[in-house]
Structure 1
Amino acid sequence: MQAGPLAASAWADDGHARRAADHAPHAAPARKTAPAATPVKGEDIVVATHRLSPADQARAQLDSLPGAATVIDAKQVLRGRNLTNADALAFQPGVFAQSSGGGDGLRLSIRGSGIQVGTNYFRSGILMMFDGLPVTTPAGTPYELFEPLGLRYTEVLRGANAFDYGGLQLGGGINYVTQTGYDAQTYQARVEAGSFGYNKEQLSSGKVIGKADYYISVTNSYRGGYQTETQANSFGVNANFGYRFNDRVSTRFFFRYRQTRNGYPGYLTRDQILANPKQAQAPYRAWHSVRIQPGSKFYGNMTTIRIDDRSKLELGFDYQDAPIDIQNTSFSQIWGYKTVAATLNYTRHDVLAGHKSDTQLGFMDTSDLEAWQTNRVRVATGHLAGLPMGQVLRHVTYGGTENYFHLRNNTELFHDFWLTTAAAVAFIQKSSGVPYPYTAAGANFKESSVNFVPRGGFRYVISPHVELYGNVSRSIQPPNDWNLNYAGPYFTGNIPQAGMNSGAGKLRNQTATTYEIGTTGHAWRNKWSLTYYHSDVRNELLSVMTPASQAIGASIYGNASPTTHQGVEASLETTLYAWAGNTLSLRQAYTWQDFRFRHDAVFGSNRLPGIPEHFYQGEIHLDTKTGFYAGFNAQVSSKVGAAYDETYFAPSYHIYNLNVGYEWPGKHRQVFLSVNNLANTHYAAIVVPGYIAAGKQLAVMQPGDGLGVFAGLSLGFN
Structure 2
Amino acid sequence: MSWFLVLPIALATAPGGTFTDSTVVPLEGISITGSRVPESVLRTPAALSVVTKNTLRSTRGISLLDGLARVPGVFSQSRGGGQDVRITIRGYGARGNGERSNAGNMRGIRVLTDGIPLTEPDGRTSLEFIDLGSADRIEVLRSNGSVVYGNASGGVVQLRTAFDFERPWIEYQERAGSFGYHREQGAAGIAMGSGRGTVSVFNSNFDGWRAHSRSTTTSIQSRFSAPLDDRTRLGVLADFVSNLNFFPGALTQAQLEADPEQANPTFVTRNERRFNRAGRLGFSLERGLEGNTSVSATLFAEPKSLQRSERNRFRDFNRYHIGGNLAVQHRTTFSSELYGTWTAGADDQFQDGAIQFYNLAPGGNRSTTVFQNKREGSNSAGGFVQAELTWSEQWAVRVAARYDNLWYLSEDRVTPRLNATKRFTQVTPKGSVARMFERHTIYASVGGGVEAPAFNEIDPPPPYDTLTSFNPFLEPMSSTSYEFGAKGEFAAQDSRFGRLSYDAALYWIDVRNEVVPFNGGAFFFTAGKSRRRGAELGLGWSPVDKLSFNGALTFSQNEYVEYQNELGDFDGNDVAGLPEALVNVEARYQLPAGLSVSGNLKHVGHYFADDANTAFVEGYVLYGALLEYAHAMPIGVMRAFVSGDNLTDEEHVSSVFINGISGQYFEPGLPQNWSAGLSLSIR
Tell me whether the two structures share a fold, i.e. TM-score over 0.5. Answer: yes
- Structure of higher CA gyration radius: 1
Q: Within the alignment, does 1:439 sit opposite 2:416 as a pair? A: yes
State the distance in 2 between where 1:292 and 1:452 align: 37
Aligned to 1:176: 159
Aligned to 1:87: 66
* C-alpha spacing 1:447/1:577, structure 2 compared with 1 (3 Å): same
Q: Within the alignment, does 1:156 sit opposite 2:135 as a pair? A: no
> Amino acid of the residue matched to residue 537 of structure 1?
V
Q: How does 1:352-367 map to 2 (within 5 A)?
A: 352=334, 355-367=338-350
* C-alpha spacing 1:652/1:242, structure 2 compared with 1 (3 Å): same
State the distance in 2 between where 1:392 and 1:184 align: 56
Unmatched 5+ stretches in structure 2: 1-24, 491-496
Matched-pair contact (CA < 8 Å) for 2:232–2:288: yes
- Among 514, 517, 526, the alignment partner of 2:500 is 526
- Give secondary structure in 2 for the equivalent of 1:273: helix
Aligned to 1:219: 202
State the distance in 2 between where 1:338 and 1:154 align: 27
* C-alpha spacing 1:365/1:63, structure 2 compared with 1 (3 Å): farther
Matched-pair contact (CA < 8 Å) for 1:488–1:505: no
Aligned to 1:670: 639
Q: How does 1:15-94 map to 2 (within 5 A)?
A: 61-94=40-73
Aligned to 1:325: 307
- Give secondary structure in 2 for the equivalent of 1:508: coil
Deviation at 1:331, TM superposition (A): 2.0
Q: Within the alignment, does 1:117 sit opposite 2:86 as a pair? A: no
Aligned to 1:138: 121
Q: Within the alignment, does 1:616 sit opposite 2:583 as a pair? A: yes
- Among 210, 215, 220, the alignment partner of 2:193 is 210
State the distance in 2 between where 1:170 and 1:183 align: 39
> Amino acid of the residue matched to residue 520 of structure 1?
K
> Amino acid of the residue matched to residue 517 of structure 2?
S
Report the more deviating stretch, 203-212 or 52-61: 52-61
- Among 580, 584, 588, the alignment partner of 2:547 is 584
Q: Within the alignment, does 1:98 sit opposite 2:77 as a pair? A: yes
Q: Within the alignment, does 1:711 sit opposite 2:676 as a pair? A: yes
Matched-pair contact (CA < 8 Å) for 1:346–1:362: yes
State the distance in 1 between where 2:406 and 2:263 align: 40
Write out per-residue CA displacement over residues 192-222 of structure 1, whole angstroms, 9 at most, x where no aligned residue.
0111011000011112111322210000011
Deviation at 1:379, TM superposition (A): 3.4
- Among 369, 375, 387, the alignment partner of 1:391 is 369
Deviation at 1:141, TM superposition (A): 1.4
Deviation at 1:180, TM superposition (A): 3.6
- Give secondary structure in 2 for the equivalent of 1:76: helix
User: May I ask how many residue pairs the two structures share in their alignment?
Assistant: 637
Deviation at 1:91, TM superposition (A): 0.6
Q: How does 1:629-640 map to 2 (within 5 A)?
A: 629-640=596-607
Deviation at 1:336, TM superposition (A): 2.5
Q: How does 1:338-349 map to 2 (within 5 A)?
A: 338-349=320-331
Q: Within the alignment, does 1:594 sit opposite 2:578 as a pair? A: no
State the distance in 1 between where 2:140 and 2:515 align: 23
- Give secondary structure in 2 for the equivalent of 1:284: helix
Deviation at 1:411, TM superposition (A): 0.8
Q: Within the alignment, does 1:406 sit opposite 2:406 as a pair? A: no
Aligned to 2:651: 682
Higher RCO by CA contacts (8 Å cutoff, separation 6 or greater): 2
* C-alpha spacing 1:364/1:56, structure 2 compared with 1 (3 Å): closer
> Amino acid of the residue matched to residue 439 of structure 1?
P
> Amino acid of the residue matched to residue 145 of structure 1?
F
State the distance in 2 between where 1:330 and 1:481 align: 19
Aligned to 2:87: 108
Q: Within the alignment, does 1:480 sit opposite 2:443 as a pair? A: no
Matched-pair contact (CA < 8 Å) for 1:69–1:156: yes
Report the more deviating stretch, 117-126 or 218-227: 117-126
Aligned to 1:495: none
Aligned to 1:257: 240
TM-score, structure 2 normalization? 0.88
Write out per-residue CA displacement over residues 324-365 of structure 1, whole angstroms, 9 at most, x where no aligned residue.
111244321222321111111111221135511111111111
Aligned to 2:22: none
Write out per-residue CA displacement over residues 617-644 of structure 1, whole angstroms, 9 at most, x where no aligned residue.
1101113464211111111011120111
State the distance in 1 between where 2:530 and 2:680 align: 51
> Amino acid of the residue matched to residue 661 of structure 1?
E
Matched-pair contact (CA < 8 Å) for 1:544–1:560: no
* C-alpha spacing 1:428/1:331, structure 2 compared with 1 (3 Å): closer
Matched-pair contact (CA < 8 Å) for 1:363–1:403: yes
Matched-pair contact (CA < 8 Å) for 2:114–2:159: yes
> Amino acid of the residue matched to residue 466 of structure 1?
H
Deviation at 1:104, TM superposition (A): 2.7
> Amino acid of the residue matched to residue 148 of structure 1?
L
* C-alpha spacing 1:529/1:351, structure 2 compared with 1 (3 Å): same
The alignment-based identity, stated in percent, is: 21
TM-score, structure 1 normalization? 0.84
Aligned to 1:606: 573
- Give secondary structure in 1 for the equivalent of 2:136: strand
Matched-pair contact (CA < 8 Å) for 2:26–2:489: no
- Give secondary structure in 2 for the equivalent of 1:585: strand
State the distance in 2 between where 1:162 and 1:131 align: 19
- Give secondary structure in 2 for the equivalent of 1:123: strand
Write out per-residue CA displacement over residues 254-292 of structure 1, whole angstroms, 9 at most, x where no aligned residue.
011111111111111234334422111112224433211
More strand per residue: 1 or 2? 2
Write out per-residue CA displacement over residues 496-542 of structure 1, whole angstroms, 9 at most, x where no aligned residue.
xxxxx972213211111100001112234321111011111111111
Deviation at 1:60, TM superposition (A): 5.5
Q: How does 1:199-598 map to 2 (within 5 A)?
A: 199-293=182-276, 295-308=277-290, 310-352=292-334, 355-368=338-351, 370-379=352-361, 389-436=367-414, 438-440=415-417, 443-461=418-436, 463-485=437-459, 489=463, 503-506=469-472, 507-523=474-490, 524=497, 525-544=499-518, 556-578=523-545, 583-598=546-561
State the distance in 1 between where 2:481 and 2:116 align: 25
- Give secondary structure in 2 for the equivalent of 1:88: helix
